[in-house]
Amino acid sequence: MKLPVIKHLTNFIEENDQDYVLETIETLEALTEVPSLKDEELDVIGELISNMYGAVEVDKMIKEGAPKKEALNTFMKRVLGSIDN
């Protein structure tokens, strides 16, 4: 996951609508079922999906009242904490 990408997607959600991102996630998930995709291509799609889910989660925290910067930092700490375990 990349914080700049999640931040950019969070801004996109604020300016547009979360549904665009959720529908894109569904589309990318459907693409992962293409049997001819190479591992590298699946990795890229997986990274995109992860970043989009991250942005959706950050957006949820913002809607619950967290300032954007705090929501981004909290999310990334949670991600890094789960990697360390």
Confidence (pTM): 0.89
Q: How many other β-carbons are positioned within 10 Å of the β-carbon of residue 9? A: 23
Please say if the pLDDT value at position 23 is more than 60.
yes
Please say if the pLDDT value at position 85 is more than 80.
no
Please say if the pLDDT value at position 81 is more than 60.
yes
Q: What is the pLDDT of residue 79?
A: 82
Q: What is the pLDDT of residue 84?
A: 58
Q: How many domains does the chain have?
A: 1
User: Which pair of structure tokens corresponds to residue 64?
Assistant: 């619950």
Instruction: Look up the domain containing 63 and give its range.
Output: 3-84
